[in-house]
Amino acid sequence: MQPRVSPVPVPDRPEPVVERPAAPPIGPTGVAYPGARRPDRSRWLDVGGLDLAVYEWGDPDAPVIVLAHGGFDFAGTFDVFAPLLADGGWRCVSFDARGHGSSDHAVLYSWAADLRDIVRVLDEVSPQRPVVLLGHSKGGGVSLDLAHAQPHRLSHLVNLDGLPSRNNWPDLADHDRTKMLHGEITGWLDHRRAVADKQRRPGTRRELAERRRLMNPRMDLAWLEYLVGVGAVEHADGWRWRIDPSLRLGGFGPWRPEWSMQRLPGIGVPFLGVLGLELEVMGWGTLPEDVEPNLPPVAEFHALEGVGHFVHIEQPASIAELVLSFLDRHPVPS
């Protein structure tokens, strides 16, 4: 091993000193929202040096559902949906992915790292018994990989609008595709050059809610203002989203959506898939005909008209009912 050079000060912007609470905050958000209930318990979980914020709703002795949120979300986006599952007799466990919500910001982010982090949550939550894993959006896509990497960890897999299948730029001529990709890459590199000094832009609750509405155009402002109280923190100059400022929407890379879809036919546990058919900026645009031929042997699939990407936020009661009735029909083996 090469000796490491002793640390030399670089002109880094000092990290603001924020005293970490003993557990991730689950107190009142300052704004009520119908049906929203903050978690019953929270704790920090060390996943190989990073602390993730873990939250639970429901009876701690009940069977476990682990909920994995999507990119740019956080566990608090389950504040209406998870209590419905908990009230249905389940111990609902969710967590803020690295860089999201109250979890630590990391130097690096990747699909593989997210996959590893979920496994470490499962290690802690249910080291012996398989659990129900429910993933929304990217959380659903990563869960498909988990179901192949460690199938013994799962009793059921629920996927809420997290089935990537759309091919990128299907109708573009090669030279247009090259120009588009170039714009994405240089835009991302320019962002990376500036990111060391970046902070999330401060604002009022309403301003943050309105900004988030660009990603969540079908969400009502009252819900988004509620989320500010969960996923943002108030500083002297206003509220700022907690999410790591180095994270950026969009992206590029070698990953192909169809690679996720190719995981679907091999799922060996009961599978419930739900698509919201209203196109949204955060969704995949996956069509039912992309999914149906790939469904595994034991599967239920619902493609919902008039619902967007955030199916469990737009229709929490009916999606919770779908999940609970699916679990009733496919009981956990004793």
Q: Of 36, 18, 11, 19, which Cα lies nearest the Cα of 219? A: 36
Cα separation, 269 vs 223, whole angstroms: 34
- Using CB under 8 A as the binding rule, whether residue 125 contacts other proteins is answered as no
- Using CB under 8 A as the binding rule, whether residue 107 contacts other proteins is answered as yes
- Contact region for other proteins (CB under 8 A) — 20-28, 140-148, 208-216, 291-299? 140-148
Dihedral angle of Cα 50, 248, 311, 207, to the nearest 10 degrees = 100
- Using CB under 8 A as the binding rule, whether residue 152 contacts other proteins is answered as no
Helix (H) or strand (E) holding 85: helix 81-87
The distance of closest approach from Cβ of residue 299 to other proteins in the complex, given in angstroms and rounded to an integer, is: 20
Residue in this structure with the two tokens 């179901």, named with its chain if needed: 147
Q: For residue 8, what are the contacts with CB-CB under 8 A and spacing of at least 6?
A: none
Q: For residue 207, what are the contacts with CB-CB under 8 A and spacing of at least 6?
A: 238, 239
- Indicate the residue among 4 and 333 with the shorter CB distance to other proteins: 4
The site that binds other proteins (CB under 8 A) totals a number of residues, namely: 52
Q: In this structure, how many other beta carbons lie within 10 angstroms of the beta carbon of residue 181? A: 14
- Using CB under 8 A as the binding rule, whether residue 145 contacts other proteins is answered as yes
- Contact region for other proteins (CB under 8 A) — 71-79, 183-191, 214-222, 307-315? 183-191
- Using CB under 8 A as the binding rule, whether residue 178 contacts other proteins is answered as yes
Helix (H) or strand (E) holding 234: strand 232-235
C-alpha triplet 89, 70, 192: angle, nearest 5°: 155
- Using CB under 8 A as the binding rule, whether residue 329 contacts other proteins is answered as no
The distance of closest approach from Cβ of residue 100 to other proteins in the complex, given in angstroms and rounded to an integer, is: 13
The distance of closest approach from Cβ of residue 200 to other proteins in the complex, given in angstroms and rounded to an integer, is: 15
The distance of closest approach from Cβ of residue 226 to other proteins in the complex, given in angstroms and rounded to an integer, is: 30
Binding stretches for other proteins (CB under 8 A)? 1-2, 4-5, 8, 10, 12, 47-50, 98, 105-110, 112-113, 115-117, 119, 145-146, 148-150, 174-175, 177-179, 181-182, 185-186, 188-189, 192-193, 195-196, 246, 252-256, 259, 263
